[in-house]
Amino acid sequence: MDDPTFNVPPTMSNIQPLTPPSHHISRMINSNHQQSPSRTIYSDRFIPSRSSSNFDLFNISQPSPNSPAPVDNHKDDNSGTYNALLRAALFGPDTPDKKDLSSPPSARNIFRFKSETRRSLHSLSPFGFDNDVTSGVSQSPVKAPRKVPRSPYKILDAPALQDDFYLNLVDWSSHNVLAVGLGNCVYLWNACSSKVTKLCDLGIDDNVCSVGWAHRGTHLAVGTSHGKVQIWDASRCKRVRTMEGHRSRVGALAWSSSSLSSGSRDKSILQRDIRAQEDFVSKLAGHKSEVCGLKWSYDNRELASGGNDNRLFVWNQHSTQPVLKYCEHTAAVKAIAWSPHLHGLLASGGGTADRCIRFWNTTTNTHLSCMDTGSQVCNLVWSKNVNELVSTHGYSQNQIIVWRYPTMSKLATLTGHTYRVLYLAISPDGQTIVTGAGDETLRFWNVFPSPKSQNTDSEIGASSFGRTIIR
């Protein structure tokens, strides 16, 4: 049979035979054709730039751009080397090869940190400044830790200052006048002029148990051992009124604008309005032993109370029962302080059997942290200039500690008192504290910086070093 013939059009007579597709692909790969400048070719691969990588950090040498690429003629050898490196990185450099236990390949960790990796501060900048550009920029030196003087700048003798943990006999007014209860008398010491004034004498059968200045003005509240609270106008040395209501001594006082709270050994807290005719407007019951600590929050919305029943209570303006109860302390709670920096942050300290400073968030009703100080916590006060606080202690070290919050690192430990440091007050400028103890001395310490400068000395008696008597 003859071969079939096809009628092919003349235009297709010159068509070349088809070439395999692989030939076109190889031509495309090996071609050095010039791309059109008006057309951008995109790829689905991302090739990172290694120019800014620090290969010295991992002890890996960066390949030179002019060095020829290595030829993989020994695939098996490279695979063996990689396996050895991987084995050393995962299991240590001393792990032998399973093929040859007698001669393990020499290997080391793939990534090895080097100690010579210090880089300049500008090399870490995200803007990539050169040394020439930043040579004229001066770097601020690192500030040294603030130094707290270890000695008091002034000491006052305070005869008959009682050694009683449950009393509060020292307070500092906004007008820079210190009130101190000594026996049955109250004395005023003007920090500007160092003048001493005898405010009152309660008589031979009574004693001063607490003193407390109003936030503004010159009114001073005095709690007595007979359960009375006297209001004095210190500018005129005149008693304004006497309020009753307690059946035993009044050892704690706390002002809130025109309201005054008093805590007593009769376990009760009385809320008083000095503008009202009644001696008290409400009675707060909850403690099962003597109330020895009282503090209003800075917004005057919450009152914290501590007692000899090891309880810390929080009350609001209108409650007669505590809205929050904290029972973690294992000793009497006298030391109470509200933070002026964070709303609802409360600090409390326990007595000899407890020795702890605890922090609470009254807004969320949570216990934040606890610090064991190693000795009886007698008082706490926050600095209004910096986020720090001071604690005074009794058994067994009688020390004063300046803490940085919230790390609770010690900035300074001050010593000098030979008895328990039972009394503490802070100056109106927030830089100076005064401490009192059963050794019948009042000591003045510069512990906090000023609001503007941490190196400015306090203007309150800082130049009058010496020892005088308060009466």
CB 420 within 8 A of CB 399: no
- Phi-psi region at 355: left, alpha or beta (left = phi > 0; alpha = psi -120 to 50): left
**Cα 111 to Cα 217: distance, rounded to the nearest angstrom:** 70
Provide φ and ψ at 357, rounded to 5°. Answer: -105, 125
The domain limits of the chain are 154-450
Q: Give the pLDDT confidence score for residue 455 in this predicted structure.
A: 44
Task: Tokens for 304, please give them.
Answer: 């914290």
Nearest-5° angle of CA 137, CA 141, CA 143? 150
**What is the model's pLDDT at position 157?**
96
Per-10-residue mean pLDDT of the chain, 471 residues long, equals 49 48 48 53 64 58 54 62 81 64 51 49 43 46 79 96 97 97 97 96 96 94 98 96 97 93 98 94 96 96 97 94 97 98 97 97 97 97 96 94 96 96 97 97 96 51 56 69
Structural tokens at position 265: 């050994």
Q: Dihedral sign for Cα 194, 200, 202, 207, please.
A: negative
pTM of the model as a whole: 0.69
Is CATH 3.40.50.1970 correct for 154-450?
no
Is residue 460 within 8 A of residue 431, CB to CB? The reply is yes
